[in-house]
Amino acid sequence: MKIINVAMIGAGSIAKTHSLGFMTMPVHFWEPPAMPVLKTICDVREEAARESVARYGFESYCTDWREAVNRPDIDLVDIITPNEAHAEIAIEAAKAGKMIYCEKPLTLKASDANMMVKAVKEAGVRTAVGFNKRRFPAVIWAKQLVENGFIGKPTYFHGKYFQSMAIDPDFPYHWRFDGFGIIQEAGCHTIDICRYLIGEFDSVSALTRVFITERPRMIGFEIDTTKMRGDKNDMVKINAEDFGTYFVKMKNGATAMFENSNIASGSNDDCAFELYGTRGAIKWCAKRGSELQISSMDDPAGMKGFRTIEMGPEHPYCFWPFAGFGINWSDLKAIEIYDMFDAFVNKKPFSPDFRDAQKIVELAEAIYESAANNGEWVELPD
């Protein structure tokens, strides 16, 4: 069986999810296209990197990502660092001839995304980006329903990503507030789902707000972000949006609306969409991620309306012999890693890759441009 040796760059909270994905992928998908081997994990915080060796089963650790990326025995570089560091690491990995698996968002600037896409194209290396929400079996099935004409011609998409993580004004400033806000941090998931389901973006009109304008600076670099503490004597001005709403015209004539907030009380982590068409509609919420609500104009009189379908053996990627079981974050990563390995090993297409993720970065940049100009419509590049 083919072996893929993995170097993970970053030992923060996402390392837990990625590591579980690599470990459980062969359990869920036997025989896998290739067997992952967790060779090394890298973080500038030596204690975190060392702990990850024992916690997640890596063979070694280091504190210099260049050392990990350029090791001759490494096949795949998994980038889960703060977002502003993605570009430099990915470009170096491409030059070293490595396959690249990068967490979303690809990067924060369209100019950096352009360089990343150019680098991997010149190097001829395969890439994958971790928009894991599209790996929910219910979302994959929604895609199949759209392609099979179940909803007719798509007319309207409504995407929502509300979180509660930052509603406390004492929640400390850290890298997730550094130059970007909720739209790129979480809203990019619903943007990706929209593009996955119904196609490319044409133009956007946006409004963003910053309701909590300063936060205490974080003390320390604890792995578990729920335990971060801030210094109230060292307050940092916040420019990154904690709320955004934006309308998007799609190239196929459909309209999309998105709402994002990380100060939505009681939401916890609430990712959802509704998709309407000329013949039917689909609703989905990640909190009940193994369910899909569907409605069809072909339903008989007296029975029209949404009905709930639970994902089971008849649907994509069912791990169990009957419907009704949920799916968790590490399951999504296992599916994502399986799809990635299958594509890379068997020379199949994979989406989203760097080029797909570049489209999300371009839309985010257009959103901020529109918001800075009182909602003026901004056209997206072809």
Provide the CATH number for the domain around residue 306: 3.30.360.10
Domain stops at, among 84, 109, 133: 133
Q: Is residue 78 part of a domain?
A: yes
On whether residue 167 sits in a domain, the answer given is yes
What distance lies between CA 334 and its chain's CA centroid? 14
Same domain, 287 and 368: yes
pLDDT over 80 at 139, yes or no: yes
> Would residue 346 count as lying in a domain?
no
The answer to whether position 239 is within a domain reads yes
Torsion of CA 19, 21, 23, 24, to 10 degrees: 150
My answer on whether 226 and 293 are in the same domain is: yes
pLDDT of residue 324: 86
Over 70: is that where the pLDDT of 34 sits? yes
The range of the structural domain enclosing residue 311 comes to 137-323+352-379
115 in the same domain as 187: no
Q: Residue 180's pLDDT is what?
A: 74
Average pLDDT over residues 165-174: 89
Q: Is residue 277 part of a domain?
A: yes
Residue 80, domain CATH? 3.40.50.720
**Residue 333 placed within a domain:** no
Whether residue 29 is predicted with pLDDT greater than 80 in this model: the reply is yes
Same domain, 53 and 154: no
Is 60 exceeded by the pLDDT of residue 223?
no
Retrieve residue 313's tokens.
């053996």
pTM for the model stands at 0.95
Residues 129 and 141 grouped into a single domain: no
List phi, psi (to 5°) of 78: -105, 110
What pLDDT, on a 0 to 100 scale, did the predictor assign at position 176?
72
Mean pLDDT, all residues of the chain: 95
Least confident stretch, 84-98, 234-248, 314-328, 335-349: 314-328
pLDDT band of 220, cuts 50, 70, 90: low
Distances (CA, A) of 50 to 44, 46, 88: 11, 6, 24
pLDDT band at 178; cut points 50, 70, 90: confident
| Number of independent structural domains in the chain | 2
Q: Judge whether 266 lies within some domain.
A: yes
- Non-local (6+) Cβ contacts of 374 within 8 A are none
State the pLDDT at residue 221: 56
Q: Which of 133, 151, 174 is the last residue of a domain?
A: 133
Q: Are residues 229 and 305 in the same domain?
A: yes
144 lies in the same domain as 290:
yes
Residue range 261-311, pLDDT digits in tens: 999 999 999 999 999 999 999 999 999 999 999 999 999 999 999 999 999
Q: State whether 148 and 124 are in the same domain.
A: no
Q: Are residues 180 and 211 in the same domain?
A: yes
Same domain for 83 and 206? no
Rg (Cα) of the chain, in Å, rounded?
Answer: 21
Q: Name the burial class of residue 324, with classes exposed (0-12), middle (13-18) and buried (19+) by CB atoms within 10 angstroms of its CB.
A: exposed
Q: Which of 89, 93, 8, 84 is nearest to 43 (CA)?
A: 8
- Of the residues 133, 163, 191, the one at which a domain ends: 133
Considering the domain boundaries, does residue 371 fall inside one? yes
Residues 315, 202: one domain? yes
| Segment 212-223 mean pLDDT | 79
Residues 108 and 145 in one domain: no
